[in-house]
Amino acid sequence: MRNPLSAFIPPARARRASDVLERIVMSSGDVRLAVVSTPDGFEIASSGTGESGDARRLAAMAGSMMAMAGAMGREVRFGDPVRLTFETRNGVAVLQASGGEFPSLLCMLLEPSAVLGRALHSAGAAAALLAQPV
């Protein structure tokens, strides 16, 4: 199904997001699913295992989680979040904010065996590329 917001997402931005996912994120290994979304939770691009509905739901949840972290950060005077991570017995999730003229979020679902430092480095590199003008 076509994303109803695709008319508002510049095609060059969507291509950049897809390219970043393939070149940087998925090549880092141990990534189950990765999604680039708008800050308000709409999928721009995704890659990995899972149905397309999984990516849409993940984009929505990532937007909500970053919004809640932002509210908490402002409450305690830390400012807006740059990255969130959480671990479970079945895997790790990394949410990385990306700025620039078209802000976005990267959400990566990692296998439990993933090397977290490598994943965080990949997330930071991806965010830097996503923030660049297209």
pLDDT at 9: 87
Check residue 1 and give its pLDDT: 42
Phi-psi region of 50 (alpha: psi -120 to 50; beta: other; left: phi over 0): left
Record the pTM. 0.90
CA atoms within 13 A on the CB side of 129: 20
pLDDT value, residue 28: 79
Q: Which residues of 100-109 are buried (b: 16+ CB within 10 A; e: fewer)?
A: eebebbbbbb
The third-level CATH classification (topology) of the domain covering 11-131 is Beta-Lactamase (3.30.450)
Residue 52's pLDDT is what?
55
pLDDT along the chain (134 residues), means of 10: 61 95 87 95 90 84 96 96 95 96 95 93 96 93
Q: Are 114 and 30 in contact (CB under 8 A)?
A: yes
Q: Which pLDDT score is estimated for 4?
A: 53
Give residue limits of the domains in the chain: 11-131
